[in-house]
């Protein structure tokens, strides 16, 4: 017997039903919203290329100087006034720009959010690689797409050999550029001041620990990462005057135990990069390394985040597929894995922007 849900699906997929719904005055607003949502899904890749053009041309900052016409901006953008107008109109439709009087354009709300936002700007620029890798998504899903550009960008995801300095530089810089927004969310949700020593595993160039040090002046810092990345963190701590508070531990967490001595261990945007076996191993190693009564923090965007489901399952799901390892996990999946690794209690602490990151504290 066919269920009611299947019948409803069949009805809504019928062109005649959709056309009737659009014609009927009561269902028309809903029909229009659905048509718009389907169009946005279809056209999303063009929208993101408009965004790339705006970021590459630094359009938001140009508009921040004051409203300008296409003619005013054409020379700076090195394009014809007609092409500039086309870009400004597209940017306006996406709220990056905004129409002002006298044929001029100013900054739109989304454009304003791009100003002094190195994390988002770096991500947008970096999307050239992802864009190439997603050219044939079916081949990618079937494992027939061949080597991807993202697998080369994140060598630890698929390579057994330790990456060298030149291989880690750009991904470490990208992570550092977007770390401020993660640290702010995490440190608003969780008070670090009651802890003595924080070990950040896969801590990159130390940006998260540097933010933690600012929040909590008595906190000592430990960082564990691949040798080439750990070297970048050491230089950063020297530069920031944090060397006396920080110890840096180079290693490979798939092979080496984690250093002991911390009462707080964090995995910031680390677990989602790895398949379940590695995550189990990491949680186990973290438990071994933690001082008795210590706390583990898992900080990353999570699947099934209410209102941001597509961020994890569509965006990160396909991003990590192209990268060659890992998967977005829901908070409940992570909490089950934490319990299996011997953490008796875990709690999802609310962050202000769950789309940016969520946080689980476990002990
Ligand atoms: C996605 S980055 C996150 C960096 C940082 N936690 C952040 O949020 O900005 C993942 C980090 O894990 C490190 N990593 C990956 N595989 C590793 C391994 N086998 N051993 C140690 N660190 C590793 C990477 O070098 C990188 O710094």
pLDDT for residue 272 = 98
Q: Looking at residues 180-207, what average pLDDT do you find? A: 96
Choice from 123, 179, 202 to test ligand 1 binding pocket (greatest atom count within 8 A of CB): 202
Check residue 118 and give its pLDDT: 87
What pTM, to 2 d.p., does this model score?
A: 0.90
Place of tokens 């007609």: 82
Alpha helix ranges (H) inside the chain: 4-12, 15-23, 28-56, 59-64, 70-77, 81-93, 109-114, 118-133, 137-141, 149-153, 165-189, 207-215, 227-239, 276-289, 309-310, 317-323, 331-340
pLDDT of residue 236: 98
Q: Which of 95, 93, 62 is nearest to 77 (CA)?
A: 62
pLDDT tens digits, one per residue of 241-283: 999 999 999 999 999 999 999 999 999 999 999 999 999 999 9
Confidence band (pLDDT; 50, 70, 90) for 1? confident
Q: What does each C-alpha distance from 339 to 106, 164, 254, 280, 360 come to in angstroms?
A: 52, 35, 20, 11, 12
ipTM score of the complex?
0.99
Q: Give the residue from 336, 332, 333 showing the smallest Cα distance to 344.
A: 336
Q: Mean per-residue pLDDT for 333-360?
A: 97
- What's the confidence (pLDDT) of residue 27? 81
Does the beta carbon of 193 sit less than 6 angstroms from any atom of ligand 1?
no
Rounded Cα distance between 351 and 15, Å, is 43
192 Cα–ligand 1 center, Å: 21
Give Cα 211 distance to the centre of its chain: 18
Phi (first) and psi of residue 247, to 5 degrees: -120, 140
Task: For residue range 56-104, list pLDDT tens digits in order.
Answer: 999 999 999 999 999 999 999 999 999 999 999 999 999 999 999 999 9
pLDDT value at 149 more than 90 = yes
| Average pLDDT, integer, range 120-124 | 89
pLDDT tens-digit series, residues 326-342: 999 999 999 999 999 99
18 Cβ contact partners less than 8 Å away, ≥ 6 residues apart: 12, 31, 34
Domains delineated in the chain: 18-114 (1.10.10.10), 118-362 (3.40.50.150)
The DSSP call for residue 275 is: -
What average pLDDT does the segment 287-311 reach? 95
Is the predicted pLDDT of residue 187 greater than 90, yes or no? yes
Q: What share of the chain is helix, strand, coil (3-state, %, to 5)?
A: 55, 10, 30
Q: How many CB atoms lie within 10 A of CB 225?
A: 27
167 within ligand 1 shell (Cβ under 6 A): no
Average pLDDT (27-49) is 90
Segment 304-317 mean pLDDT: 94
Structure tokens at 175: 């992570």
What is the model's pLDDT at position 255? 96
Is residue 121 predicted with pLDDT exceeding 80?
Answer: yes
268 close to ligand 1 (CB < 6 Angstrom): yes
pLDDT at 230: 98
Residue nearest to atom 14 of ligand 1 (CA): 202
Query: In which element (H, E) is residue 201 found?
Result: strand 197-201
pLDDT at 10 (0 to 100)? 80
Residues 6+ apart with CB under 8 A from 73: 62, 84, 88, 105
- The pLDDT of residue 9 is 80
Rounded distance from Cα 282 to ligand 1 centre (Å):
12
Distance 177 CA to ligand 1 centre (A): 14
CB-based contact 327:275 (threshold 8 Å) = yes
**Residues of the chain with pLDDT > 70: what percent?**
100
């Amino acid at each position: 017997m066919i269920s009611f849900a299947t019948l409803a699906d069949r009805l809504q997929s019928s062109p005649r039903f959709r056309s009737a719904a659009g014609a009927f005055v009561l269902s028309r607003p809903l029909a229009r919203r659905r048509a718009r949502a389907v169009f946005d899904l279809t056209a999303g890749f063009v929208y993101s290329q408009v965004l790339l053009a705006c970021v590459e041309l630094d359009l938001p900052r140009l508009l921040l100087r004051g409203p300008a016409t296409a003619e005013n901006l054409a020379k700076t953008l090195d394009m014809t006034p007609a092409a500039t107008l086309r870009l400004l109109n597209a940017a306006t439709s996406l709220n990056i720009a905004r129409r002002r009087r006298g044929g001029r354009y100013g900054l739109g709300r989304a454009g304003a959010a791009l100003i002094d936002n190195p994390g988002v700007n770096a991500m947008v620029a970096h999307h050239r690689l992802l864009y190439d890798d997603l050219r044939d998504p079916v081949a990618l899903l079937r494992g027939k797409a061949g080597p991807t550009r993202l697998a080369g960008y994140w060598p630890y995801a698929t390579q057994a050999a330790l990456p060298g300095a030149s291989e880690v530089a750009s991904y470490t810089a990208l992570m550092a550029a977007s770390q401020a927004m993660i640290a702010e969310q995490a440190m608003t949700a969780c008070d670090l001041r009651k802890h003595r020593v924080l070990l950040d595993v896969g801590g990159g160039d130390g940006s998260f620990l540097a933010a933690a040090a600012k929040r909590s002046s008595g906190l000592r810092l430990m960082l564990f990462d691949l040798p080439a990345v750990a070297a970048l963190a050491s230089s950063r701590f020297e530069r920031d005057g944090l060397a006396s508070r920080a110890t840096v531990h180079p290693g490979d967490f798939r092979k080496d135990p984690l250093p002991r001595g911390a009462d707080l261990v964090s995995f910031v945007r680390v677990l989602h990069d790895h398949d379940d076996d590695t995550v189990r191993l990491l949680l186990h190693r973290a438990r071994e390394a933690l001082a008795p009564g210590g706390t583990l923090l898992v900080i990353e965007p999570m699947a099934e985040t209410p209102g941001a489901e597509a961020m994890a399952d569509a965006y990160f799901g396909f991003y990590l597929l192209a990268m060659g390892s890992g998967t977005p996990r829901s908070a409940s999946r992570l909490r089950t894995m934490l319990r299996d690794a011997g953490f008796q209690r875990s709690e999802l602490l609310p962050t202000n922007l769950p789309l940016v990151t969520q946080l689980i504290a476990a002990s």
